Chains A and B, each alone.
Chain A
Amino acid sequence: MGFPYDTADWAVVDGAMFMGWGGSAPGIYTLIAAIICVAVLWMGNSSEKAKYEDAEK
C-alpha cells in the first residue's frame, strides 16, 4: 500500500502507483475537487445574475 519510499524502487510496485494510494489522500482530493465544482457553479451563477441585472438597467 502506498509508494515504497523506503526502497524507492519501481520494481516493487505492482498495482496502484498514484500519490496517496493506501491512505486517505485520494478521498480528500476527490472531495476537494467536488467542492470546487459546486463552488464554481455557485459563484458562476452569482456572476451571471449580476450581468443580467446590468442588462436590465
Chain B
Amino acid sequence: MEEQIAELAAQVAALQASAGVTNTMFAETYYYLTIPLMIIIHAGFLAYEMGASRMKNVLSSGVKNILAFAFMIPTFYFFGWWVYWAFPTGITLSAGAAGISGAEYASSIAFGWGESAQYMGPNIADQASGVFFGAFALFACTTASIMSGAVIERIQTVGFTILAIVLGSFAWVVAAAWGWHADGWMVTMFGLHDFGAAGLVHAVAGFFALGVLVNLGPRIGKFNADGTANHIGGHNMPLTVTGLMLIIVGFWGFLMACVIVPGEGWSWFAAKGATIYGTPITLSALAFNILMGIAGGIIGAWIYTKDPFWMMSGALAGIISVASGLDIYFPGLAFIIAFGAGVILQPCAVWLEKRGIDDAVGAVTVHGTIGLYGLIALGVFASGYPALQGEGVATVSLVGQIVGAIVFFLLGFVPGYVVSFILNAMGMLRTPEAAEKAGLDPTKVPAQAYPEGISTSPAASS
C-alpha cells in the first residue's frame, strides 16, 4: 500500500513538473510570437508612408522608417528597458509597493553589463526576460513609426533618427512606467486604466509628432499665401491602404502582448489571464472588442468621407479609441465609441491643417487626438472599476483619465518640440529647399523606386 502511494505521489510530481514545463514554454512562445506580429506593424507603416510619399521621395521615406526600427532596438536595450523599470514611482526613481520598480531594481535586471547582464542575454534559467524585452522593444518601434509618417518628404534622416530614439527609448517609456505598471504613480494614485496603450503609446507618439511638426514646418507647396491648404497626394494609394491593413494585423500582436499569461512565477494569477495592472482579462474580450472597434471606425469614417484612406485610418482609429478598455467594454459600446472616432477623424485632421500643421498622414489625429478620446471615453464609461488587483486599490475615474490624458499629451509634445527645436538650431532637422524641390531620392538615395515609371488615372469628384 505504501509503495503504491509513493508511486502515485511520484507520478503526480512528474505530471506537475511536466505541466510546469508546458506552461513555461507556452508563456515564452506566447510573447515570442507577438514580436513578429508587431514587426508587421512596422511593415505596415513602411508601406503606408512610402505610398503617401510622392515618387521623388518614396525610398527616402522608406530609409528613415527602416533606420528608426534599427536604432530603436539597441537604444531600447542600452537604456529604454532600464527607464521602464526605474521610473514608475516618478522622478525620484524610488521602489514601489509591488517591489518591481525603482533605480536599484532596474539596475539589477535591465543593464547589459555587470550582474544584471544575466537577464539581458541567453540564460537557461530565464525564459521570460528576453521575450518581454522583445515585446517592449517593438512597442518602442511602433511609437517611432507613428511619428515617421507625419514628417515625410522634408525631414533629415539623422535628425529624424535622433527624434525616434528620444520618443521610442525614452518619452513613451516614461509614460509606460507611470501609467502601465503596477507601481506606476498614475495607476496607484489616480486609478489610470489604459490596457491597450491608447494614451501611453498612441497619444504620446501622436503629440510628439505634433511638437516636431511645429518646428519642422510644412512641405513646400502645402499652403498658399492666404493660408489655405493644398492636397499633396501620395504616389500610391493602394500601397498606403494595404499598409494600414498590415498595421491592423500587427495590432493583434501588440494587444496580445499586453496580456499577462497565467501560471508563472511572475504571473498575476495561477489560472487566468491578467492585464498589466493585474486585473482579469481574456483573449476573447480582445477578439470581441477589437473587431467591433475596427468595424465601428471604418463605418464612421465611410459615412463622413467615402475615402478609402480615411476608412482604413478609421479602422486604426477604431482600435485606438477602444484600446484603453478592451478588457471591460461590451462589444456594442466598443462599436459606438469606435464609430464616433471614425466620424470625428477627418474633421479633426482638417482642423489641424487649418492651423498650418502639415501632417502628411494624419498621425497626430489618428494616434494623438483619438488616443486621448479613447482614454477619456473609458473614464466616462468605466468609473468605479478597480484599477489594480487587490483590496482598497484606486478606481477608474473620469478625473484620473483626464489627468492621464494631460500627462501623456505633455510627455509627447514637450520632448518632441524641445528636441526638434535644438536639432533645427543645429541645422539637422529640415532638408534644404533645393533638395526638397528636386526630391530626396535623387538627392541622397542610390536607388530608384520605379525605374520603369507608373501610369496614372484621374480621380472621381468627391
Contacts and interface: CB of A to CB of B under 8 A. Distances in A.
> Is A bound to B?
yes
What is the interface of chain A mostly: helix, strand, loop, or mixed? helix
A45 B428 CA distance: 8
Contact of B161 (A13, A26, A34, A41): A41
Interface string B47-78: 00000000000000000000000010011011
Interface in B275-319: none
B434 interface: yes
Contact of A48 (B71, B113, B158, B434): B158
Contact of B113 (A30, A51, A56): A30
B74 A34 contact: yes
B162 A16 contact: no
A33 B158 CA distance: 18
A26 B47 CA distance: 37
Contacts of A15: 118, 123-126
Given A37-B74, A41-B162, A13 B432 contact: no
Contacts of A13: 124
B75 A26 contact: no
A30 B434 contact: no
Contact of B117 (A14, A16, A55): A16
A56 B122 contact: no
B121 interface: yes
A4 to B, nearest CB: 13
A17 interface: yes
| Count class of interface residues, chain B | 20 to 34
B112 A16 contact: no
Binding site secondary structure of chain B: helix
Contact of A55 (B78, B118, B121, B432): B432
B71 to A, nearest CB: 7
Interface centre among A26, A31, A33, A55 (most CB of B within 10 A): A55
B8 interface: no
A21 B117 contact: yes
B113 A17 contact: no
Nearest to A10: B124
Contacts of B451: none
B156 A34 contact: no
B424 to A, nearest CB: 14
A16 B116 CA distance: 10
A18 B121 contact: yes
B443 A34 contact: no
Contacts of A17: 122-124
B262 to A, nearest CB: 25
Interface of A: 13-18, 21, 26-27, 29-31, 33-34, 37, 41, 44-45, 48, 51-52, 54-56
**CB-CB nearest 3 A-B residue pairs:** A27-B113, A30-B112, A16-B118
